[in-house]
Amino acid sequence: NPILSAECRATLDQLVSERKQADRLIARGLTPTRSAFFLGNPGVGKTLAAKWIASQLGLPLLVLDLTAVMSSYLGKTGNNLRVALDYAKETPCVLLLDEIDAIAKRRNDESDVGELKRLVTIMLQEVELWPSSGLLLAATNHPELIDRALWRRFDLVVEFVIPDHRMVAGSLKRFLGNDYEKFSSWVEVLALCFKGESFSEIEKTIQRFRRALALEIAQPKELIESYIVNRSLELPHNDRISLATLLAKRTGFSQRAVSGLTGVSRDTIRKHG
């Protein structure tokens, strides 16, 4: 179950409802969503959302990594792409075209060879004619590269945003698992530290914490102190002040210790405290 913004969650919930109740729509002369375009930074939940949708619909998820197709079959990519898409259309499924920008760049990009421009034409035709028995999803980290005509062919465009405070806090409970209680007093601090990070980066850090804890290399306080020293330097100035103020109020650290961890002066901490 992916952690999503409220807007994204509502959009995907409706997509699933449309597919599950397609008969009601068809009876009114409507068709359920057949295709959706996922855009957002790496690690924000696009692939996980595709897995969740397939699970909700009880359909297999097929993933076509288009960067791999391009690197392996340049010169035959058009034929191989059609074969893969024809296969996906034969059986009801959810097909995810990952890294679609590899083959769907703007056709006015003079740096691309003619074959890549032909691939855009193939994709335009396929999206337009995709059967309602299946669901076609496409994902990209670089929407600015995509041919605008392709964007318009998809029934739905869904933006996956960098996690906000609520989403980060929810991800911490999930990623910490059985160790959540050991870090519970640090959740607010971690949520602020992880501001601007993707879910995948947050999970990597949390898994490193849990491994160190399991091997008795360090305790939660030590792990977080070490992380704050490195992370605080990357935070915007105002966020660093917010972090320092929170540490002084909630953790029992002295202002001197907080200043040493975050680089924020004691005078600034007192002023905002």
The pLDDT tens digits of the residues spanning 212-257 come to: 999 999 999 999 999 998 888 888 889 989 989 988 887 778 889 9
Q: How many whole angstroms separate alpha carbon 66 and alpha carbon 10? A: 28
* Span of 104-113, 130-139, 183-192, 243-252 with lowest mean pLDDT: 104-113
Residue 113: CB atoms within 10 Å: 9
Instruction: Decide if 131 contacts 19 (C-beta within 8 A).
Output: no
pLDDT in the model for residue 47: 94
Backbone torsion region of residue 58, taken as left when φ is above 0, otherwise alpha when ψ lies between -120 and 50, otherwise beta: left
Q: Would you say residue 110 has pLDDT above 60?
A: no
Q: Is the model more confident about 105 or about 140?
A: 140
pLDDT in the model for residue 114: 61
Q: How many whole angstroms separate alpha carbon 88 and alpha carbon 107? A: 26
Instruction: Decide if 239 contacts 192 (C-beta within 8 A).
Output: yes
The pTM is what?
0.83
Distances in Å between the alpha carbon of 205 and those of 56, 168, 245? 30, 13, 23
pLDDT in the model for residue 111: 46
Dihedral (Cα; 40, 204, 264, 168), 10-degree rounding: 50
Distance, C-alpha 26 to centroid of its chain: 32
